[in-house]
Amino acid sequence: MKKNIPYIIRASCILVFLLTNLRCSAQNFDIDMLRSINRSRSSYGDNVMMGFTNSVYPVSGLVPITELIVGYARHDKQTVDHGWEAAAGVGLNAIVTFGLKDIVSRKRPYVTYPDIQPYQHVTDASFPSGHTSFSFCSATSLSICWPKWYVIVPSYLWAATVGYSRMYLGMHYPTDVLTGALIGTGSAWLACKGNKWLQQRKHKQPAATLQ
Same domain, 141 and 51: yes
Residue 211 lies in a domain: no
Residue 208 lies in a domain: no
Checking if the pLDDT of 89 tops 60, the result is yes
* 205 vs 147, more confident: 147
Checking if the pLDDT of 210 tops 60, the result is no
Domain around 61: 41-202
Q: How far is CA 32 from CA 22, 48, 161, in A?
A: 15, 23, 19
For residue 148, what is the domain's CATH number?
A: 1.10.606.20
Whether the CB-CB separation of 125 and 106 falls below 8 Å is answered with yes
pLDDT of residue 32: 93
pLDDT tens per residue, range 139-184: 999 999 889 999 999 999 999 999 999 999 999 999 999 999 999 9
Number of domains composing the chain: 2
Same domain, 111 and 139: yes
Exposure of 173 in the CB half-sphere (CA atoms within 13 A): 21
Residue 122 lies in a domain: yes
Q: What average pLDDT does the segment 18-45 reach?
A: 77
Would you tell me how many other CB atoms lie within 10 Å of the CB of residue 155? 21
Same domain, 19 and 51: no
Checking if the pLDDT of 11 tops 60, the result is no
Residue 209 lies in a domain: no
Same domain, 120 and 195: yes
Confidence grade of residue 198 (pLDDT, cut at 50, 70, 90): confident
Same domain, 24 and 45: no
Same domain, 57 and 133: yes
Q: What average pLDDT does the segment 133-140 reach?
A: 97
pLDDT of residue 206: 56
Q: How far apart are CA 70 and CA 76, in angstroms?
A: 8
Confidence grade of residue 205 (pLDDT, cut at 50, 70, 90): low
Same domain, 11 and 69: no
Residue 57 lies in a domain: yes
Same domain, 16 and 98: no
- 186 backbone φψ class: left, alpha, beta (φ>0; ψ -120 to 50): alpha
Residue 130 lies in a domain: yes
Confidence grade of residue 15 (pLDDT, cut at 50, 70, 90): very low
Would you tell me how many other CB atoms lie within 10 Å of the CB of residue 152? 16
Same domain, 94 and 135: yes
Same domain, 55 and 154: yes
Checking if the pLDDT of 17 tops 80, the result is no
Residue 152 lies in a domain: yes
Same domain, 61 and 133: yes
CA Rg value for the chain: 22
Residue 161 lies in a domain: yes
pTM, 2 dp: 0.84
Same domain, 25 and 83: no
5 alpha-carbon distance from chain centroid? 45
